[in-house]
Every structure is written in structure tokens, then in C-alpha cells.
Amino acid sequence: MTDPARASGAAPADHGVGSAEPNTGWSTDPEAPRPPDAPRPADDRSTGRSFFAELPFLVLVAFVLALLLKTFVVQAFFIPSSSMEPTLLIGDRVLVNKLVYEIREPRRGEIIVFTQEDAVPAEQLEPNPIRRFLGSLASGLGLAQPAEKDFIKRIIGLPGDTIEMREGVVLINGEAIPEAPTAEGGYLSTRDLNDFGPVTVDAGHYFMMGDNRPNSADSRFGLGQIPADNIVGRAFVVIWPLSQLGGLPIPGYDVPAPAAAEAVRQAADSPRRSGAPAFAGLPLRP
């Protein structure tokens, strides 16, 4: 019998496992004409154009997210002076938590950033709003010093506290707080032997001091007491340089209530009136 395929001149079908390309209904030759319903091959050029078309939108989204983060959550700050040495050095960058004081009150010993409205004259501020905004963003990322006057100090006095300094020792409500120079295991550069006070911290205000106590313009001199509304947030970690990367812990203080301050302060002063060494009977706690 004659094979119909052979009789018609067509090649026999190959049903073996080694068969060639499946019959898709169109040629795989790139030069051959394609049926109208055939899928179009990917065009690398159109993919590249799509990415560059979306790039401005992606940059805008990143910009807005960075702005929201800086404004409401965390902001980086540049350390411009030596007032917090040795804890923070000139050129260090710290991150500041801007939400923490929405949840609780500031605590003694915390390092905070605050603003001082009268510290920079209006004529020294950048008049161009776009440059001012870009400068603010750069300072928020810790890449530049802020145009506005921000300060970073340690909270020493809380509202209602009575603060004074005698022979380099800070008394809060009549009791010496456990501060010490770094040579003695503390955080101070050295003690400031200038006496100060006593003064009482107003309601809704905080009393700040720098860790470089003899070389710090703080609530004792110039800055005065800081309103709670001026507090930006708590500095909680050093992020630059990497060799200084680490947290900023809160020292533990235990002082008497403000109501007992005057009686305890008079008791602390009495040895000096009799010629005995100052702060006899008031040793610093370890």
C-alpha cells in the first residue's frame, strides 16, 4: 500500500522524543513576517525609557518620605561646638527622637536638642524660601549645620527643682547629684568651680548644662531656663563617626522632692559657716 504522506510529497510527522521545535503556527526566523496575533518581543529600549520616565516620581516620593521622617519622627543633628565634650565631640552626628516627649515628660540626665528663638537675628536667616527649605533638609540629614540656632545639652533641673553649684558640685533640691569627671568614671570633662544659684526652675521649664561644664553656655549663663515647647527631642545615639557609634544612656539620679529643697540646702551650707569643708556629710553616690 502506498503511504499517503509519501504520495502527497509531504514530509512524515516526527513523533519521537527528539523532535524539533513545536509547531507554533509561525516561523522562528526573525526576518520572517509574523502573524498579527503573535506576541511582540521585549524591547529593552522601551524598558529603559519607562524607568527614566518614572525616576522623577521615585525621587519625589523619597524626598517626601525623608521630609516626613525629619519633621515628625527622627532627625540627625551635627555637633558644632565643644560644650558637650567629652560625651559629644565637634563634628559628631546624633539622631534625635522627636516623638518620645509626645508620650512622656523629659527626664533628668537626658541629652536633648532644643531651639532658642532669640539666638539668631532675623536678618541672618536665609531669605530665599527654597534655599532655606533645602538647607533645613540637609541639616535634618546631618549633612550641614542648621540655619536656625539649635542647642544640645543635658537636662539637669526639672520644673520646681532648686539648682545651685558649690565648688564644682551640683546640688538639686539640696542634694549633690552623682556627677564626676571622666577620670573618675563620670561624663564631665572637668568640674566648674564657679558657684551658682540657688535658682528655682519655673513650671513648664527645664534647666540645661553642658558636660564640658567650664566651657558651656547653658542655663546658668545666657540661655536661661528652656520652655518645654522649645524642646525638639532626645538625642539617643551617635551615628558618626563610626568609631564613636553607640547609644547615649541616661544616668540614674535620685534626688529629694522640691518641697524639701530649702531645708536640705541650709543643712548643706551649715558646715561652711563653721569653717568645716564644704559638703561634709554629702558624699557623691557612686
Q: Collapse the DSSP code of 86 into the 3-class scheme (helix H, G, I; strand E, B; otherwise coil) and give the result.
A: coil
Phi-psi region of 118 (alpha: psi -120 to 50; beta: other; left: phi over 0): alpha
Which one from 70, 83, 136, 216 is the annotated catalytic residue?
83
Q: DSSP assignment, residue 156? A: E
Kind plus residue range of the DSSP H or E element containing 20: none
Q: Collapse the DSSP code of 115 into the 3-class scheme (helix H, G, I; strand E, B; otherwise coil) and give the result.
A: strand
- Residue 136 contacts residue 174 (beta carbons within 8 Å): no
**C-alpha cell of residue 78:** 551635627
8 is catalytic: no
- Residue 152 contacts residue 79 (beta carbons within 8 Å): yes
Closest residue by Cα to residue 255 from 156, 165, 186, 167: 156
Query: What's the CA dihedral at 213, 245, 241, 125 to 10 degrees?
Result: -60
Q: Collapse the DSSP code of 208 into the 3-class scheme (helix H, G, I; strand E, B; otherwise coil) and give the result.
A: strand
81 is catalytic: no
Closest residue by Cα to residue 198 from 160, 158, 164: 164
- Residue 98 contacts residue 205 (beta carbons within 8 Å): no
Which one from 70, 139, 153, 219 is the annotated catalytic residue?
153
Phi-psi region of 29 (alpha: psi -120 to 50; beta: other; left: phi over 0): beta
Give the residue numbers annotated as catalytic, written as ranges. Answer: 83, 153
